[in-house]
Amino acid sequence: MTVTNELRELIDAGQFRDALSRYRSQRQLAATEDVLLAATAAGHLGELDLGVSLAAEAHASCTAQADLSGLMRSAHLLGGFAFERGRLDDAEAYFSEASRLAERSRNDLQAAKSANNLASVAHLGGRSADAVRLYQRALAAYLRLGDDAGAAETGHNLALLHREAGHFCAAAEAVEAALVHARRTSDRGLIALILSGRAELAMERNDLDTAEAALAEARPHAESGGDAPALAELDRLQGRLALRRGNLESAYEFGLMAWAAAGVQGNILLEGECAGVCALSLKALGRMAEGHGFFLRAQQRLVALGSTFRAQRLAREWASG
């Protein structure tokens, strides 16, 4: 079996740390495909600096070789890393590049991925109508192609959009459909992501028992492959759940742990949301000065991203807490 095939199998099985170790052991002999796979593994592990370096290396190599497929995939990865770091203009530019290359090469799968990612940029930037249109385009393409992983991810994103708009029935339908698709894949990190969406929706509907059950089911999936971003997100949600249940010390501990992990990963959006959990927990504990410091950190991150909805929601929670 070639190194490339080994890397693919390890990533498909969610063994991202093993995939990165295998790549490093053969670094001098690596092909561009191996570099792209290693960048993918680094992203799942929350090692964004490494992921950017590898994806940029692949992008430069593919540009020199006029490799349209490699260019498309490396632009897709670079867009994802820029998005997680809160660099939305860069993310949109890379995703648009991937979209143009997908259309040029008639790659329907990459076109669907680009539509989903451009929708996420529009969503975070407050352009909800554009986001819905692009998500629906991506979902239709994934369903036509029979791509369960893509349908699951886009369904999760649509559910988030519906939830933020207060359309809880539509959000629930999207979450459950996404979970059906996710369970058909071997991607346990994806299953954890969809279950985290189910948990957050349940909290919004004040169904705390369902939220707790979803988080409990999600954790072993995230832990199985060491999916660092998924684990940090689960800790954030565990903190929110503890806060809702009045377990204030536990809420702060989970929030702080998730905030630290998001900071190490360079995930600006998640860092801002985790700082919000810390702020609300500390305020409820009577530690106003510390809480206010976290509140300001959270608002700075969320406003810088253009995430007006999240910033305003946190401000309301802070004022009413």
pLDDT value at position 63? 92
- Which tokens belong to 107? 């790659």
The CA-based dihedral angle spanning residues 295, 296, 299, 301, taken in that order and rounded to the nearest 10 degrees:
-110
CA angle 154/159/163 to nearest 5° reads 150
Model confidence at 1, pLDDT cuts 50, 70, 90, reads: low
Rounded mean pLDDT, 145-169: 95
Model confidence at 225, pLDDT cuts 50, 70, 90, reads: low
The percentage of residues in the chain with a pLDDT greater than 70, rounded to a whole number, is: 99
Rounded mean pLDDT, 112-118: 96
Closest CA to 89 of 114, 56, 124, 61: 124
- Which tokens belong to 274? 């985790």
Amino acid, single-letter form, for residue 79 = G
Amino acid, single-letter form, for residue 84 = E
Over the Cα atoms of the chain, what is R_g? 19
Pick the more confident residue, 88 or 213. Answer: 213
- Which tokens belong to 216? 């409990």
- Which tokens belong to 155? 């369904």
* pLDDT at 249 > cutoff 90: yes
* pLDDT at 281 > cutoff 90: yes
Comparing 6-15, 149-158, 256-265, which segment has the lowest mean pLDDT? 6-15
DSSP-based three-state secondary structure for 86: coil
- Which tokens belong to 84? 């997680």
Rounded mean pLDDT, 305-319: 88
pLDDT value at position 321? 66
pLDDT value at position 310? 87
Distances (CA, A) of 101 to 71, 94, 108, 176: 8, 11, 11, 33
* pTM assigned to the model: 0.85
